Chains A and B, each alone.
Chain A
Amino acid sequence: MTARPQNRLQTNALCAELTPAQIDKLACLARSEHHTAGTFVFREGELATDLYLIDAGRVGLELCSPRGVHTIDTLDRDDALGLSWMYPGARWLFDARATEPLDLVVIDGQRLHALCEQDTDLGMRLMRAMAREVIERLQATRARLLDFYR
């Protein structure tokens, strides 16, 4: 049985700095999604409208080229899937494909933007958590650029 989005948000690392009242507000914008292994959550070029939080399972960020399908990164429980939703009108840069059965909490991006502007404290805390996620991924990308196993 799928847990309610509110319960899942309470334990998600991205919401660790939010107050219970703020999590309640966020939960009002959230819904649950389940994807079976091999299915796509979104495709490259689609409008990036929502924030996805991974509750269980694993998803691969993929890009296809004449050499094959490149998995750029994999994301697991507690990770935010996709960052492009932060900028209205942006499009996803990669395909997101479930590599295992995947449970997501999906938050409507447009309404989330409005909520962040209305409750600036929530907006600040959420953006700080997103910035930490971005920094961690940037540092990981830099490390991979070193290609130190070669």
Chain B
Amino acid sequence: MSVYLPRPFVVDAVERETADTVTLVIRPQSGLAPAMKAGQFAMLSAFGTGEVPISVSRIARDRLHHTIRHVGEATRALTALKTGDSLGFRGPFGTAWPLAAAVGKDLLVLAGGLGLAPLRPVLDYVMNHRDRFARVSVLYGTREVSQVLFGRDHKAWRSLMSLRMTVDHDVRQPDCAPWSGQVGVITKLIPKATYDAQNTVAMVCGPEIMMRFSARDLEASGIERANIHVSLERNMKCAVGLCGHCQLSNFLVCRDGAVLSYDRVAPLLTVREL
């Protein structure tokens, strides 16, 4: 089958995450779900509207979860899908989070906003294989309390790893329970995490500026650039490294990324023309 031809999938369930974000639980209309790895993405298409790259946010045996925020026409159509509706699927594409490299080490997961979605399969893996890692810390920053993702998973995560959260903005209404977490930038959480910088793998996903600030502070804390991994976002179109829309200097992000080690991309992230 051509890599350009979407495979028909069906929506098995829709999980509302926030006002503008849903998780689609999808499966192929026929045959087995493709084997995806944590960090990889698929091109999801809303028929008649458009196609967008969306990272896998949970990998089940015969189902794939994709968490989508409504930001444009294609994502509007995808987030409007209901159980039983059809969509197109191409993939999986791209590189994966280096879980094998983190085995036996401290693992630091930094997620900003919707960036928690591509990292959730990492946390699922940790939950199922907790003994393979030393200390595991999750630092999660988001804009406001109403944008916090995957609240139903937090209790389980807290049982096996450290989870610290911060929001950039907090306005408390008289009839709402107060936010008990931290207010401020995600980098404020880094000094509070417990890890051995010489023996730590960090995985960072979120808006690019958030990743730059976070990677800079992680490096300052002693973690080598090669052990810091980021997930980049560019204009993926073909997803197979041919069209060049997602080019970042020598890299084609759809093929060489989206997950790349910080030592390879750090100099590129401050180049204005890129």
Contacts and interface: CB of A to CB of B under 8 A. Distances in A.
A76 B166 CA distance: 13
B260 interface: no
A136 to B, nearest CB: 9
B213 interface: yes
A74 B207 contact: no
Interface in B170-184: 170-174, 178-184
B270 to A, nearest CB: 15
Contacts of B170: 70-71
Interface stretch (B37-45, B100-108, B126-134, B185-193): B185-193
A73 interface: yes
A122 B174 CA distance: 45
A149 B141 CA distance: 9
A68 B187 contact: no
A74 B182 contact: yes
Contact of A149 (B142, B192, B213): B142
A149 B171 contact: no
Nearest to B147: A149
Contacts of B168: 144, 147, 149
A140 B188 contact: yes
A5 B141 CA distance: 33
Contacts of A143: 185, 187, 209, 213
Nearest to B184: A73
B173 A68 contact: yes
A100 B179 CA distance: 12
A149 B143 contact: yes
A146 B179 CA distance: 22
Contacts of A60: 183
Contacts of A100: 180
Contacts of B179: 71
Contacts of A150: 143
B79 to A, nearest CB: 17
Given A140-B187, A143-B185, A99 B171 contact: no
A101 to B, nearest CB: 13
Contacts of B147: 149
A72 B213 contact: no
A71 B142 CA distance: 15
Interface string A19-37: 0000000000000000000
Nearest to B180: A99
B142 A76 contact: no
Interface in B111-146: 112-113, 141-143
Interface of A: 58, 60, 67-74, 76, 99-100, 140, 143-144, 146-150
8 contacts: A67-B171, A70-B169, A71-B170, A99-B178, A143-B185, A144-B168, A144-B169, A148-B209
Interface of B: 112-113, 141-143, 147, 166, 168-174, 178-185, 187-188, 192, 206-207, 209-210, 213
